[in-house]
Structure 1
Amino acid sequence: MTGVAHGEEWPSDNIRLVVPYSAGGTTDLLSRKVADLLQKELTTVVVENRPGAGSTVATAQLARGGRGSDHMLVMASPGHTIGASIYPNLRYDPVEDFVFIRNVIDIPNVMVVPASSPYNSVEEFVAAAREGQLSFSSPGIGSSIHMSGELFKNLTQTNLIHVPFRGSGEALPALLAGDVDVAFENMPTVYPHIQSGKLKALAVTTAERSEFLPEVPALQEVGAEFGLGDYVTSAWFGLIAHKSFPEEAQAKLGAALEKIVESKNFKSFLPQFGAVAGKEVGDEFRAFVADELEKWAEVAEQANLKR
Structure 2
Amino acid sequence: MTPILKRAVRLCMLSIALPLFSVSANAADWPTDTVRLVVPYAPGGTTDVLSRKVADLLQKEIGTVVVENRPGAGSTMATGQLARGGRGADHNILMASPGHTIGPVLYKKLPYDPVKDFRFIRNVIEIPNVMVVPANSPYQNVEEFIKAAKDKEMTFSSAGVGSSIHMSGELFKTMTGTKMTHVPFRGSGEALPALLSGDVDVSFENMPTVLSHIKSGKLRALAVTSAEPSPYLPGVEPLSKLGADLGLADFVTTAWFGLIADDSMPDAAVERLQSALDKVIGDQGFQDFVAQIGGEVASQEGDAFRDYVVADVERWQGVAGQAELQ
TM range (shorter): 0.7 to 0.9
Is residue 2:259 matched to residue 1:239? Answer: yes
2:163 pairs, out of 122, 132, 143, with 143
Stretches of structure 1 lacking an aligned partner (at least 5 in a row): none
Aligned counterparts, 1:126-275, within 5 A: 126=146, 129=149, 132-133=151-152, 135-139=154-158, 140-154=160-174, 156-164=175-183, 166=185, 171-172=191-192, 175-176=195-196, 180-223=200-243, 226-275=246-295
Is residue 2:76 matched to residue 1:56? Answer: yes
Stretches of structure 2 lacking an aligned partner (at least 5 in a row): 1-20
Please say which structure displays the higher CA radius of gyration: 2
Runs of 4+ in 1 over 6 A off after TM superposition: none
What one-letter code is carried by the residue in structure 1 that aligns with 2:220?
Answer: K
Q: Report which of the two has the higher share of helix.
A: 2
- State the distance in 2 between where 1:165 and 1:21 align: 12
Q: How far apart are residue 148 of structure 1 and its match?
A: 0.8
Percent of pairs with identical residues: 60
Count of matched residue positions in the alignment of Structure 1 and Structure 2: 300
Q: Which residue of 1 aligns with 2:26?
A: 9
Shift in alpha-carbon separation, 1:122–1:288, aligned structure 2, 3 A: farther
- Whether contact under 8 Å (2:146, 2:178) holds in the other structure is no
Q: How far apart are residue 37 of structure 1 and its match?
A: 1.2
- State the distance in 1 between where 2:251 and 2:302 align: 24
CA RMSD of aligned residues (A): 3.0
Q: Which residue of 2 aligns with 1:84?
A: 104
- Whether contact under 8 Å (1:123, 1:223) holds in the other structure is no
Q: Which residue of 1 aligns with 2:48?
A: 28
Q: How far apart are residue 127 of structure 1 and its match?
A: 5.4
- State the distance in 2 between where 1:232 and 1:70 align: 36
| TM-score after normalising by structure 2 | 0.78
- Whether contact under 8 Å (2:157, 2:195) holds in the other structure is no
- State the distance in 1 between where 2:55 and 2:93 align: 11
- State the distance in 2 between where 1:137 and 1:22 align: 19
Shift in alpha-carbon separation, 1:176–1:48, aligned structure 2, 3 A: closer
| TM-score after normalising by structure 1 | 0.82
- State the distance in 2 between where 1:172 and 1:210 align: 21
Q: How far apart are residue 288 of structure 1 and its match?
A: 2.5
- Whether contact under 8 Å (2:176, 2:248) holds in the other structure is no
What one-letter code is carried by the residue in structure 2 that aligns with 1:144?
Answer: S
- Whether contact under 8 Å (1:109, 1:205) holds in the other structure is yes
- Whether contact under 8 Å (1:137, 1:171) holds in the other structure is no
> Residue 9 of structure 1: SS of its match in structure 2?
helix
Aligned counterparts, 1:40-119, within 5 A: 40-117=60-137, 119=139
